[in-house]
Structure 1
Amino acid sequence: MRADGRNWDKERKIEYITGYLKYADGSCLVKLGNSQVLCSATVEKRVPPFLVGSGQGWVTAEYGMLPCSTKERQVRESRLGRPDSRSQEISRFLGRSLRAIVDLVALREYQIIIDCDCLQADGGTRTAAFNGGLIALYQATRALLEKKIIDRDPIIELAGAISVGIVNSRILLDLTYEEDSQAEVDMNLVLTESERIIEIQATAEKIPFRYETFQRMFELAKSGIKRIIEETRNTIKSLP
């Protein structure tokens, strides 16, 4: 039994609170255990310069942490005078993972920016940001469809993300911060509903691990992602 009462093969409860922001084209507060990320979508009638005239849209993402989202205060990036490297890395992870399930041609020359602000961090914030970001993205694309700005749904299929790791020689699903800080192996996985791989981030923090171990971790993460996608689907169906 883990510190929060879960079995080794169980993820934390995920909760989506949609329509959280008044002015966003889509918004969702996602809660994953004690981790909380506020995700919002903004639609812009423009695309990056390399796509101008292509008839193709774009999806990008930005990730950041509030100063008191962790035990030690995070210095605001505006005070640092440069983007935080971890925030940049997660922003890229989110952008490319979301683009993988979007038909960019169907977006026409519109750009959707997904902003993910971590309110409280207790592990798994990048995976929570992906799952919440997808909800916000769905709301934004649905609004474009309803306004007849686009004529077909650009979201190809649903997807989900989760973490898995090895702590004290045991494979655990959906690591908390405490577990992640002790992990011998840490992996983040993003899969589509049809079980196609979007992203695998797997790192041996202490010692190398065998392919057979990777397979076991992958299968465990896949089972958790299936449940997350089902929760995502239920949330989308319940949207007003």
Structure 2
Amino acid sequence: MSGDVSRPSGRALDALRVVSIEPGFSHHAEGSALIRMGGTEVLCTATVEPKVPGFLRGQGLGWVTAEYGMLPRATHKRGQREAARGQQSGRTLEIQRLIGRSLRAVTDRRAMGELTITVDCDVLNADGGTRCAAITGGWVALHHAFSKLVRNRVLPAVPLLGQVAAVSCGLTDAGAVLDLDYVEDSAAEADANFVLTDRGAIVEIQASAEGAPFTDAQFAALHTLARNGVSALFAAQHAALPKD
């Protein structure tokens, strides 16, 4: 790999795509956010229900879970709706479990009481990094749902312990790069998704080599890029929070 090779997008190695988060996009959900990261757009909606799954009843703990899906033409070719197939793909199940774990990691479930919040993440347009965008936008939707519960005097305070965001990194011909789009992701020698909190903690790291194994030094370079990248995502999240 050579540092003289430029990225297809022309971005610097450590540059995110243009990021925007539009809160309140859904008219009916208790919390929502449309997140755009370059050509990837994900609508995140948070729904509150006054109950918890059976395994949590009577424990005084709330539950935050997630569902994930892609519109048929979110990608270059039409994908069949999973409902038409009668079952979700393994990829879908893995991603929505990741989103749920990530959001629960920064939620005080005892403080939220016996409520369930389901964060639906629907990919409108996919250009790489959809799971990372879903986690980042999902946290904003979750915060807005909690804020509505506070305004309605259901909860005394927003039961979030901090922020969580996610970003992809990879090893390409240009070197270690931040926030892969589809063109880079499809050709990367290694790629990783980092789910990190604003307090510097790690929620989850998914990393794999597509060809030759990568070294500790290369992984450290990816980790550094991710930490710098999520700091900008935390700022974008904060700017999309309720102003009251």
TM-score, shorter chain, exceeding 0.5 = yes
- Deviation at residue 20 of structure 1 after TM alignment: 0.8
**Counterpart residue type for residue 66 of structure 1:** L
Taking only the aligned residue pairs, the percentage that are identical comes to 43
Note the alpha carbon deviations across 1:11-59, whole angstroms, 9 max, x for none: 1011011111111001111100000000000000111111000111000
Q: Return 5+ residue gaps in structure 1 as ranges.
A: none
Map residues 1-240 of structure 1 onto 2, 5 A cutoff: 1-168=6-173, 170-236=175-241, 239=243
- Deviation at residue 152 of structure 1 after TM alignment: 2.7
- Deviation at residue 171 of structure 1 after TM alignment: 0.7
Could you tell me how far apart the structure 2 residues matched to 1:5 and 1:171 are?
14
Could you tell me how far apart the structure 2 residues matched to 1:122 and 1:64 are?
14
TM-score, normalised via structure 2 length: 0.95
Q: Return 5+ residue gaps in structure 2 as ranges.
A: 1-5
**Counterpart residue type for residue 41 of structure 1:** A
Could you tell me how far apart the structure 2 residues matched to 1:22 and 1:152 are?
23
Q: Does the aligned pair in 1 maintain the 2:190–2:211 contact within 8 Å?
A: yes
Q: Does the aligned pair in 1 maintain the 2:61–2:114 contact within 8 Å?
A: yes
Q: CA RMSD in A?
A: 1.1
**Counterpart residue type for residue 63 of structure 1:** Y
- Deviation at residue 147 of structure 1 after TM alignment: 1.3
Count of residues in Structure 1 that have an aligned counterpart in Structure 2: 239
Aligned to 2:3: none
Could you tell me how far apart the structure 1 residues matched to 2:157 and 2:33 are?
23
- Deviation at residue 169 of structure 1 after TM alignment: 6.2
TM-score, normalised via structure 1 length: 0.97
List structure 1 runs of 4+ shifted beyond 3 angstroms: none
Could you tell me how far apart the structure 2 residues matched to 1:4 and 1:200 are?
25
Q: Does the aligned pair in 2 maintain the 1:127–1:188 contact within 8 Å?
A: yes
